[in-house]
Amino acid sequence: MEHHSLTIVEASRLIRGGKLSPVDLLESILQRIEVLEPKVEAWVTLDPHGARAAAEKMADEAGQGKIRGPLHGIPVGLKDIYNTAGLRTTMGSQLYASHVPEGDAEVVKRLREAGAVVVGKTETTEFAYLDPAPTRNPWNLGHTPGGSSSGSAAAVSSLMVPLAFGSQTGGSTIRPASYCGVVGVKPTYDLISREGIFPLAWSLDHVGLFTRTVEDAALALDVVAGTQTSRVLKAPPPRVGVPKEFYVRVAYDEVKQGFDAALRRLEGRGAEVVEMKLPASFKAVHDAHRVIMAVEAAAVHEKSFKQKMAGYRQNIRGYVASGLLVPATSYLQAQRVRRRFTGEMLAAMEGLDCVLTPSTTSPAPQGLSSTGDAAFNSPWSLTGFPTITVPSGLSSQRLPLGVQLTAPPFEEARLMGVARWCESVLGPIGSPEMQVEQGA
């Protein structure tokens, strides 16, 4: 097995046992990037010099028996809205093309302290909104990888790194993870520090992460959030709530068929599937999310926007402009919808291990002009509930499909345990490796 194809768990075990040097692991990763990056375009800035220095230090420590933890020597990618000391951070915008932060974001500090090796910065849509990055979907280069965490999802999917970080304000972690056939996690709001990460909307922004397995995701979450989810990944067949009225109205036929097939497999292995009713407040959820996000994005950009409007791309320019026009009363009404829906959903989830829906409304759309629809993701960004997507199959065009699991706040241990069980039942969907290397 090539080193670049190792999961975090596999690589960590080998490093800890003295059978793999972090230097050799990094070199395999860098060679992989050199081959695939011209096709996938997952990276905006690579730092091979800094990464090699960090890998050599981790190799020296490992040789002395000093292992910092499960991410010791593990290569990682960071969405280009995370501050990285001395390394360019552009937010996907020409306005920040030469911006070099003096310090690291809090997540980056924790990763470095844990021994992770920062390979570089992954592509993002401009200011983590809708104007697309150049990144392509490794499963089919003619399709979007999703956004806004486009590069992070594609880098993990194409085996360029085993771990990458992104963010989610609407669906920017779960959606690209599903489109690219990997595991994506959006933890509870504020469980992971957002200090040093450029905001889109303060009360909706979440740190997100991408791996190839649930176990890897649990290890990474433990490091950056201080949780212990990796110790409790065994779970019995769960009791899951399925809001059929939600996904039947919105999902494409192929997604509905794939989701129903996944449900049958889960039920066949002992899961109890309960059709659940969504509260009346759900009808206003997507509108409330849009209002809050627009107003807060406008507040983030107000000063810069007035001075440098021409430097903003079309989608983010229109969004900020519209947010500046929203009355304060509309923002407050949207927040009232948010509070009501959060409370009603908590009541509706009683007695369930999690809520289960498709991860996306469709497989990854063709072309790079759209990053996809966040309809299944934004309700949980609004409430701040933790979510995870697990690959569940392939479409007729061999594009990944996924299932999204949602739990109450700070129930990451429960969520990850159920996700691991679902992963074991649904099984692997394979790798996009051949499609990427053939330039399909």
Three-class SS string for 183-236? EEEECCCCCCCCCCECCCCCCCCEEEEEECCHHHHHHHHHHHHCCCHHHCCCCC
> Of 12, 28, 93, 148, which residue is the catalytic one?
148
172 given a catalytic annotation: yes
Contact 247, 358 (CB under 8 A): yes
For helices 412-426 and 214-225, the axis angle rounded to 10 degrees is: 160
Sheet containing 183-186: which strands, arranged edge to edge? 43-46, 117-122, 75-79, 163-168, 206-211, 183-186, 387-394, 400-406, 354-358, 239-242, 272-275
Q: To which H or E segment does residue 387 belong?
A: strand 387-394
Alpha-carbon Rg for the chain, nearest whole angstrom, is 20
256 given a catalytic annotation: no
| Residues 435, 406: Cα–Cα separation, whole Å | 31
Contact 166, 125 (CB under 8 A): no
Contact 220, 71 (CB under 8 A): yes
> Of 150, 152, 172, 230, which residue is the catalytic one?
172
Q: Which amino acid is at 352?
A: L
19 given a catalytic annotation: no
Cα–Cα–Cα angle for 367, 371, 373, rounded to 5 degrees: 115
> Of 12, 21, 28, 79, which residue is the catalytic one?
79
Q: Which residues are catalytic?
A: 79, 148, 172
